[in-house]
Amino acid sequence: MRKISARAITEAIYQAIRKISFAPDPDVTRLLKEAQNNESSPLARDALSIILENHRLSPTLQIPLCQDTGSTILFAEIGIEACLAEPLSQSLNRAIIRAQQEIPLRASIVQDPLFPRVNTGDNSPGIVHITQVEGDGLRLTIGQKGGGAENTSFLKMFTPATGANDIVEYITAKVLAAHSRPCPPLILGIGIGGNFETAPLLAKRALFEKLGRPHPDPQYRALEEQITEGINAAGCGVQGLGGNHTVLATHILSEPCHIASLPVAVNVQCHAHRHITVEVSRETN
Ligand code: SF4
């Protein structure tokens, strides 16, 4: 067994949060530049210039990419031959609290969603999803997600009689109805299949795929393109200012589902797409 120290995990998560809070994903910057070159609306072109200027200044001035510095989501792949010194949630929360205090980041979490919504004051707790894999490694995908885009995400339990075009129509209508609220241009993570709880998880995982990667299945690749192109043709545009770039990329992940079901979940992400994947080093206690 390989023992992985709590200190190494906390440090890896802290450094990851620090990096993504300032440094834009180079793939987002690339897609924004492509959008700027092909944008039909002068107003939207101006808005893209401002977003790209923000990408340039954020790491230089060490000012977070967005005022909503986000809540922390962790997807962990833990090898069956790896042994962690403490529950992963504890290491994660220590890293979050340190990041909130030292960087600093906005405290964006309330202790209870309804009664009485008191801020925890340190941005903890984060959300952890764990998958067991072969080997003795620990691979962590960390995201900082803002509330505005998350609020416009959605799930629908379709029936198996639903066709791909019906799904495209539904997603297009929902994304356009959100208009400027999720801060377009957007990235759409779509989970198809699984069940009521796993389709949204697939959708979030889909967000963290390498941006602009072609889907390995040509049918899903065509569906991704159809969704992106359909929404972009509708004219909402950058920050709702019109033009032809509401969506930068659409990623679909799918998995088996019950014969009576067809769950479809969409996780909407803004252009402040902060995420990274790291392997925790081989340091031990
Ligand atoms: S939706 Fe994204 S860009 Fe808009 S305020 Fe939230 S984190 Fe910032």
Predicted local distance difference test score (pLDDT) of residue 270: 97
Ligand 1 and 148: CB distance under 6 A: yes
Predicted local distance difference test score (pLDDT) of residue 284: 46
CATH 3.30.1480 fits 2-24+65-146+274-279, yes or no: no
Block means of pLDDT (10 residues each) for the chain, 285 residues, are 95 98 96 96 97 97 97 98 96 98 97 96 98 97 97 98 97 98 98 98 97 94 98 96 97 98 98 96 56
Domain parsing of the chain, residue ranges: 2-24+65-146+274-279, 148-269
Predicted local distance difference test score (pLDDT) of residue 285: 41
Task: Tell me whether the omega of the peptide bond preceding residue 263 falls within 30 degrees of 0, making it cis.
Answer: no
Predicted local distance difference test score (pLDDT) of residue 212: 83
Which residues of 113-177 form beta strands (DSSP E)? 127-133, 138-145, 154-158
Ligand 1 and 186: CB distance under 6 A: no
CA of 35 to the centre of ligand 1 (A): 19
What helix, strand, coil percent values describe the chain, rounded to 5? 40, 25, 35
Predicted local distance difference test score (pLDDT) of residue 283: 57
Ligand 1 and 272: CB distance under 6 A: yes
Among protein residues, the one with the nearest Cα to ligand 1's atom 5 is: 68
In what helix (H) or strand (E) does residue 274 lie, and over which residues does it extend? strand 274-279
Predicted local distance difference test score (pLDDT) of residue 282: 64
- Tell me the CB-side half-sphere exposure of residue 34, using CA atoms within 13 A: 12
Ligand 1 and 249: CB distance under 6 A: no
Residue position matching structure tokens 């984060």: 126
CA–chain centroid gap for 110, Å, is: 20
Which string of DSSP letters, residue by residue, matches 219-244? Answer: HHHHHHHHHHHHHHHT--BGGGSBSS
